[in-house]
Amino acid sequence: MWYRIIFTAMMCALVSCTSKYNLTIPSHQFDNVNLSISTQKDTIDDFITINVSFENNSRKDFYLSGRKHVGISGCDRESLWNLDIYFQDTIMYPPVIFSDLNLQKEDYFPLKSGEKYMFNFDVDFKKLYQENVRDITKRNKYYGEYSLKLSYEHSNRRNWLLKHRKAFEGRIESNVVTVMYKP
């Protein structure tokens, strides 16, 4: 009988500690959140500008990172925004770029219900490579159709020092956009 009392007390302590340090709201509570990307042109020769729209159509307000730094194909592990680029089912890599993305409380902003967060960024297709080993003197000569998909991923471990109790947590992926890379 005494082990049940100890077990119950330990479970209550664990639940209270967990709720005390749970600083974010999981993404499954944000059913009506939409991430979409678009481009102005379908055929490119070097650069392309990608337009991003993150819509909060849910009934909840939450905080979102205002850092517009986008990592490409998982090469920048610190980035919250990541663009996967595929050519013939092979993921493409950019040249190595080291960034210091140390998020602070002031890097977040509230995205209220019914609001959109929009920004754009450029991708240089001539600097993409199929292998993870890169020779920066060579130019990408893999011409053809490319598929692009953007994701935003935010987890508790990135936010554990912050005080925002309503930061978006989880992973959301955009639609897939295809473009033709020609010489």
Residue 104, number of CB atoms within 10 A of its CB = 9
Task: Please write the tens of the pLDDT for every residue from 78-134.
Answer: 678 889 999 987 888 776 555 556 677 777 889 999 999 999 999 999 888 877 555
Assigned domain for 5 exists: no
Assigned domain for 122 exists: yes
Assigned domain for 7 exists: no
Those residues whose C-beta lies under 8 Å from the C-beta of residue 164, and which sit 6 or more positions away, are 23, 24, 63, 105, 108
Q: What is the CA radius of gyration of the chain?
A: 21
Which is more confidently placed, 49 or 31? 49
Nearest to 64 by CA among 72, 54, 74: 54
Assigned domain for 4 exists: no
- pLDDT for 17: 42
Assigned domain for 6 exists: no
Assigned domain for 9 exists: no
- pLDDT for 96: 59
pTM: 0.75
Tell me the CA distances in angstroms from 7 to 10, 12, 16, one per residue in order.
5, 9, 14
Assigned domain for 2 exists: no
- pLDDT for 180: 95
Count of domains in the chain?
1
Range of the domain at 86: 24-181
Residue 28: band (very low, low, confident or very high) from pLDDT cuts 50, 70, 90: very low
Assigned domain for 15 exists: no
CATH number, domain with residue 46: 2.60.40.2970
Those residues whose C-beta lies under 8 Å from the C-beta of residue 12, and which sit 6 or more positions away, are none
Per-residue pLDDT, averaged over 38-60, amounts to 91
